[in-house]
Chain A
Amino acid sequence: MTQSNRRKFIQRAASLAAVGTLPLTYVRLGRSEQSAEFSFAFLSDSHIQHIRGNEFVRNWDRGLVRAVAETNLLDPRPDFVIYGGDLAQLGTRPELDHGAELLSALKCDIYPILGEHDYYLDLGEYWSDLFKRPHYYSFDHKGVHFVLLNSILTYDEWTFGRWPTAEQRMNEMAGLDNPNGSPFMVGDAQREWLKKDLAGVDKSTPIVVISHSPLQKIYKGWNFWTDDAEQMQAILAPFDKVTVLYGHVHQIQYNQIGNISFTSAMATAWPWPYPGSYAHAEHYLPVLTVPMNRADPFFERDATGWQFVDVHTGRAAVHYNLYDNAVRTVAWNESTGQPEDTVFQAPAARIPPQQHY
């Protein structure tokens, strides 16, 4: 974080409640019962990439190292960290081991999910051994029900019947714009599990869903897409307050569909273009989304970062901790009933670097 960005971050944090003057202190918004108020950090998409021997791509390593260090400096400390997938680039043991080692510096519990880059080499087997987590699971925390999904599954024929080797399968899925890839989906078995998991949850309980892909259909060509998004939204529709936090897209996106708020994560590794900057993309970027500032390629941490999430009144407020780019906050707006950027939402408030053409 640059000096000026740090100042802005602290100013914004301090403006939410007029206490907390220590550097990197974040003050949470109040909830009626103090015990129910909490925050967590959300890190995603580090793409740790093995070169050879003990060498890894320096740029991606530094992004994760920095996010972990800054997460550890937060005061008050987040209750836990959620990792949104794509810890590795090609799902190998050296990459997952090295990524897990960097994450092990976190001073709190970590709840990870799988991304396609972690999965398609050995179908998540080593990842599960390493983190001691199943591919999808749920837990309750201070009155909020968390659901963690594996949303990057695809058709069985593609996964099991098309590629001569596991390495080729991984490589084919790893190329974002590779036409040999296949659409992501949660799939029948996991949707059935989710229905059962939610059957015992009161409709007024806030639900936070963590997925790697968006659970929306934004742009199929780059898998900013989940094929069974409509079915997933229908399962979540009966609940009063649902927040879906997702990775994969390496950029700020947010949306509201019915009762479901969607907010994406920045990557710690590198930013991706908005689909609209590909001239031949038929895409559906949520109109609510104010794009982040265009990345400056000369500063390798620009437009990368991590998120600090407040859960207050059952709604998430996501603070995007960006490095050489304006720090952004997307928070629930009670009067409009949707997540909005707290500074740039009004068309007149937007600035030229947010124009991606």
Chain B
Amino acid sequence: MLKKLILTALAPALFLLGASQLGGDEFDQADLDRWQEQFMQVVQEGRDLWTDGTLGSNGVSCAQCHPNAANTHPETYPKFQKQLGRVVDLWEMFNWCLRNPLEGEELAADDDKMIALLAYAHYERRGVELEPGKH
């Protein structure tokens, strides 16, 4: 009886909540296309940076050693990086490359350029099974 009363009392609230969730969750193909387009735009920015000799200081680009972002293995991060002696994420390895072969400055993990580089490397590795920690 008590249960029924509570449900009755809550019903309008639940309805409103449900409706608002329904509204928030509802999206159509045009939305999907737009979101994908937003993502692919950042992937393209990442590709442009990947091949850009001005990202570092010496004209060397990421693509010189990593064509199509090969041998970056985003699907294996975070993983124990023996050279650093701890578990790291991929952006830390990108910063290693920025400092050393590119003789440039590090990027913050949430820097737009870092996000774009990560988006590009992940996109080139799409479809590969996640294997965090793998060597």
Contact = CB atoms under 8 A, between A and B. Distances in A.
Interface of A: 47, 49-51, 57-59, 175-178, 221-222, 270-273, 275, 277-281, 294-298, 300, 352, 356-357
B40 to A, nearest CB: 16
B80 interface: no
Contact of B67 (A50, A176, A298): A176
Interface string B44-83: 0000000100000011100111111011010000000001
A175 B63 contact: yes
Contacts of A176: 63-64, 67
B67 A177 contact: yes
The 8 closest A-B pairs by CB, nearest first: A177-B67, A273-B71, A273-B70, A278-B70, A298-B83, A176-B67, A177-B68, A277-B70
Contacts of B65: 270-272
Nearest to B83: A298
Contact of A300 (B83, B100, B125): B100
Contacts of A300: 100-101
Contact of B59 (A57, A273, A278, A356): A57
A278 B83 contact: no
B125 to A, nearest CB: 6
A58 B101 CA distance: 9
A51 B59 contact: yes
* Interface size range on B against A: 20 to 34
Nearest to A356: B71
Grouping DSSP codes into helix (H, G, I), strand (E, B) and loop, the A interface class, with mixed when no group exceeds half, is loop
Interface of B: 51, 58-60, 63-68, 70-71, 73, 83, 93, 96-97, 100-101, 103, 124-128, 134-135
Given A49-B60, A57-B58, A279-B128, A273 B66 contact: yes
Contact of B124 (A50, A272, A280, A296): A280
Given A221-B68, A270-B65, A300-B100, A49 B128 contact: no
B128 A59 contact: no
B70 A297 contact: no
7 contacts: A49-B59, A175-B63, A177-B67, A271-B65, A273-B67, A273-B71, A278-B67
A179 to B, nearest CB: 10
Contacts of B70: 273, 275, 277-278
A214 to B, nearest CB: 16
Contacts of B63: 175-177
Contact of A270 (B58, B64, B125, B126): B64
B127 A59 contact: no
Given A296-B83, A300-B101, A272 B126 contact: no
B74 to A, nearest CB: 10
A113 to B, nearest CB: 21
Nearest to B93: A297
A184 to B, nearest CB: 15
Contacts of B71: 273, 277, 294-295, 356
Contacts of B128: 279
A40 to B, nearest CB: 28
